[in-house]
Amino acid sequence: GKTTIVPTNVISLRRWERVTEDGSTMKRIYITTDVGTFFYDIVKNRWASNADSPNEIVDVDSLKALAFAKAGVDNETEFAKFC
């Protein structure tokens, strides 16, 4: 089975944007935690790991709560504006 990893501390938040070859824009907020780095994909409205391990899944609810608290926001719409 998979191991669920639960972050307990957000160390930093960092916004990242890039225009791809096809002209679309990638927008992410990287979330560095005590158990690894994750990101929120603003365009796809998706939470993911920077290094998706097949044996580990992150507790997304914990990740969201910590990231929102660090950014001082209450939801994904507000979090997407973080810079």
Phi, psi of 80 (to 5 degrees): -65, -20
User: Taking the chain, what is the end-to-end CA distance rounded to the nearest angstrom?
Assistant: 37
Model confidence, pTM: 0.88
Q: Look over the chain and give the mean of its residue pLDDT values, rounded to a whole number.
A: 92
- pLDDT at site 49: 84
The per-residue pLDDT for range 47-74, each reduced to its tens digit, is: 998 666 777 888 999 999 999 999 999 9
Q: What Rg, from alpha-carbon coordinates, does the chain have?
A: 13
Is 13 within 8 Å of 80 (Cβ atoms)?
Answer: no
Please, are residues 21 and 41 in contact by the beta-carbon 8 Å criterion? Answer: no
